Structure 1
Amino acid sequence: MNSLQRPYPLDHTQLLPANWPGAIMQAAAEARSGNLIVIPTDTLYGVACDAFNPEAVRAIYAAKQRPYSKPIPILLADHSDLLRVVRHVPPIAQAFIHQYWPGPLTILLPKHPDLPDEISNNDGVAVRIPNNEVGRAIIRAAGGALAVTSANLTGQEPAETAVDAQNKLAGWVTAVADDGPAPHGAASTILDCTGYELKVLREGPISAQSLLGVK
């Protein structure tokens, strides 16, 4: 599927200011219905869908022209949903979760078997809770776990505003929740906690030096 084969007309994508009555519930309803939406986070705007809907996850790959070899992270609203998406949480990972969630730290953990294969092509899954109340409210109302990655075509600059995300993904997403400019404007730090050795896979707002000092 290429960028010209969008499932909807460009004007079908609705921009929803976060302070509008019903905006959060409308965005969540779109995700629950299997559609792609855009949500704000504390790092960048993200294109999102129900993490347990394989067809919707495949649509993210199509919309972004993203290779299937690049897994899609999962964003949660609350700690209580973590064991729905991971098999277990190693003690060292729990220490990072306690210190940095909600926040711009994505942690790679063992993937729960209930997740569709489309989320990742290996036994790990990248998870975090963003420090953005609007984003978390949408995730919570949509069921607690969304597959989310940056709102842009692969290789493009990621979207830091809702309007930019709408321009990049119009016709692919049905709703864009607008909560103002993303405060960090950079992708989250990724920490691999699946093995015996901690690995920083991507450095973002939280430095590798500060992370590796946490034991």
Structure 2
Amino acid sequence: MSDETKKIKNRYNRVSKIYDVLEGPMEAMTMSTWREKLVTTIEGKQVLEVGVGTGKNLVLYPEDLEITGIDFSEKMLEKAIQKTKGKENIRLIEMDAQDMSFADDTFDTVVTSCVFCSVPDPVKGLKEIRRVCKANGKIVMLEHMRSHHNVAGKFMDRVNFIPLHTWGANINRETIANLLKAGFKEEDIVTQDLWSDIVKLIEIRNKK
């Protein structure tokens, strides 16, 4: 694990006790609805969620799906484990998204939500997702990223240091560009703007 990854991991461990409180207002306004929408896009039975955090998505999955969830922060994962007690279809593992131990072509669908703002090497993490998702499988992402509106984008660049140094999240990531760098094709990526051009629902057909 790189020094940068350890640094971000430690920030999430530190903030884990109050993370749900910090996200509370956004969850109440819109995020919970977006999470529900995300879950409806899943295909197949074998599902991987990368970066489960405190487990907000996990309680939404239908019980007939087999869910594997990973996160590199053991303290965040502890919160997710508490939320999913008694759910036998969910297994949670401490693991780095940039270096997954799963075999190639393991999962029907891979899910992320507000994760690729925090992965230290996002292109490496996206390549790993592409690898472990089955050929012609599906990747669904609920992610925030840098606005391409001139004023908003520049503002996000200026204040990015605040969330980055508080808990390790970048608010100015170019996630669509990173998907292309990771080997996904533009014609296989469908995006839907949920909040301006900052929060997007992304659906990808994993053509290999």
How does the TM-score come out when normalised to structure 2? 0.31
